[in-house]
């Protein structure tokens, strides 16, 4: 007998609760609703992007176990989907013990939201190559750790995301700055700092890896690797295909499979890697859709974006793939690229202009996230572009994104209208 999904709002409906309702949560909500699910959006502030499309919303502190307890008991969801780091992880284990489905599972979420846990899992259990690393808990230990790893190196708060709490340490004179950055800007614990070797890579990629049910089996499949670059540790542009060698691509799939199977559960994992020639190092893991994967909305449309795959996996639905050298692969329908639209100063209720000019650049889609508050560097939207080749798509996406201006307060802001020095690395 096949799966049965009732009408949203009824006892037989499939109810999905998002813990964190940003721009990635919004895309998950849209895809889940398309499949007939009922979506509940939860976040720390009202007006979070997914709240605009969800059936219901709740606002509160997700680190507060009592708040989580109230909303989960009230809604009794079929799936609890963590989308951010700032969640009481102990409660996720409690919910799972009671029979709730935590995506991908409570243990994977607990591991992947903490840099020491994920690094040790990568090295000791998944047995994949990573950069050299060590840890520090005091300023003196940090100085010694940086000397041990060698300059330049990277320091990161043990719990953070989107570059918060991270620093590129060029020499001994930067160590105190790195200490301050980790201590003041961590998202979660800042008790320990990880120091990582700097790898002079050709490109950074994300292997979007989905675990899903196909009959009685759990399968693992991969979207074509996504290339991307960051500014100040935060995603700025991504593109697909990534342009890496066939050998590196096979290694990336193999390492991603090992990581995903160690973590287990169902849904999308965003597995970040460095690539230099045919060499591949695993860097970080996100137990949910990845911001660089926004490009898949235009490259893998019609139910095959990372968000659609995540929703299908959560709901127990099969996924169409193609076999290649023993791997299940989901290919893009077109070369494509993304480029972010950023906020530049602190403020509220931003306004946007020149979207029409951006849309004239080519096969372009503009996504404004609708966030009510702005701080410097906050991602407010993204431009997606498709083209006949990936380099053309990257240029179009950047040019279109730079057309769009954001008013914060009484002043219009826009990104410099030129190819950034990173674009042709």
| Alpha carbon distance 220, 265 (integer Å) | 11
In the block, residue with structure tokens 């990880």: 194
Catalytic residue among 163, 243, 303, 370: 163
> Which of 121, 130, 161, 299 is flagged as catalytic?
161
**Active-site residue flag, 115:** no
Catalytic residue list contains 161:
yes
- Are residues 219 and 328 in contact, defined by beta-carbon separation less than 8 angstroms? yes
137 is catalytic: no
Catalytic residue among 181, 196, 284, 361: 284
* CA–CA gap between residue 179 and residue 160 (Å, rounded): 14
31, 43, 204, 291: which is the annotated catalytic residue? 291
- 296 noted as active-site residue: no
Q: Cβ(331)–Cβ(377) under 8 Å?
A: no
Instruction: Judge if the upstream peptide bond of residue 219 is cis by omega within 30 degrees of 0.
Output: no
**Among 158, 122, 150, which Cα is nearest to 274's?**
122
73 among known catalytic residues: no
What share of residues in the chain are helix, strand, coil (percent, to 5)? 30, 30, 35
Q: Pick the catalytic residue: 31, 78, 224, 272?
A: 272
Place of tokens 């840099």: 115
Nearest-angstrom CA–CA distance, 404 and 396: 13
Active site residue 70: no
Identify the active-site residue in 292, 305, 338, 365: 292
Q: How many residues belong to the chain?
A: 425
Question: Which one of 119, 249, 379, 399 is the catalytic residue?
Answer: 379
Q: Which of 267, 292, 340, 312 is nearest to 34 (CA)?
A: 312
286 is catalytic: no
- Kindly list the catalytic residues: 161, 163, 272, 284, 291-292, 379
């Amino acid at each position: 007998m096949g799966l049965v999904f009732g009408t949203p709002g009824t006892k037989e409906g499939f109810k999905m609760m998002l813990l964190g309702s940003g721009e990635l949560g919004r895309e998950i909500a849209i895809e889940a609703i398309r499949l007939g699910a009922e979506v509940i959006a939860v976040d720390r502030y009202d007006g979070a992007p997914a709240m605009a499309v969800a059936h219901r919303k709740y606002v509160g502190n997700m680190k507060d176990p009592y708040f989580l307890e109230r909303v989960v008991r009230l809604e009794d969801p079929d799936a609890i989907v963590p989308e951010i780091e700032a969640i009481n992880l102990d409660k996720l284990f409690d919910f799972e013990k009671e029979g709730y489905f935590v995506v991908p599972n409570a243990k994977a979420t607990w591991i992947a939201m903490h840099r020491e846990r994920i690094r040790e899992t990568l090295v000791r259990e998944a047995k994949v190559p990573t950069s050299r690393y060590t840890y520090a808990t005091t300023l003196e230990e940090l100085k010694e750790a940086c000397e041990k790893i060698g300059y330049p190196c990277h320091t990161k708060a043990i719990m953070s995301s989107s570059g918060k709490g991270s620093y590129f340490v060029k020499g001994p004179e930067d160590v105190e700055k790195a200490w301050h950055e980790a201590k003041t800007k961590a998202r979660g614990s800042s008790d320990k700092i990880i120091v990582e070797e700097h790898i002079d890579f050709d490109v950074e990629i994300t292997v979007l890896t989905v675990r899903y049910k196909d009959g009685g089996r759990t399968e693992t499949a991969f979207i074509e690797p996504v290339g991307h670059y960051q500014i100040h540790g935060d995603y700025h542009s991504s593109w697909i295909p990534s342009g890496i060698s066939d050998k590196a691509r096979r290694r990336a799939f193999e390492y991603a499979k090992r990581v995903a199977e160690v973590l287990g559960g169902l849904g999308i994992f965003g597995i970040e890697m460095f690539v230099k020639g045919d060499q591949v190092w695993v860097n970080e893991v996100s137990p949910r859709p990845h911001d660089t994967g926004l490009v898949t909305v235009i490259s893998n449309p019609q139910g095959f974006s990372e968000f659609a795959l995540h929703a299908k996996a959560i709901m127990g639905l099969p996924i169409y793939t193609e076999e290649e050298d023993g791997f299940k692969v989901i290919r893009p329908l077109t070369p494509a690229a993304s480029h972010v639209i950023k906020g530049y100063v602190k403020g509220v209720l931003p306004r946007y202009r020149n979207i029409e000019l951006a849309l004239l650049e080519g096969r372009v889609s503009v996504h404004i996230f609708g966030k009510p508050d702005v701080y410097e560097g906050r991602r407010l939207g993204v431009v997606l572009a498709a083209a006949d080749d990936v380099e053309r798509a990257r240029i179009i996406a950047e040019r279109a994104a730079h057309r769009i201006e954001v008013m914060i307060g009484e002043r219009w802001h826009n990104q410099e209208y030129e190819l950034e020095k990173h674009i042709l690395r």
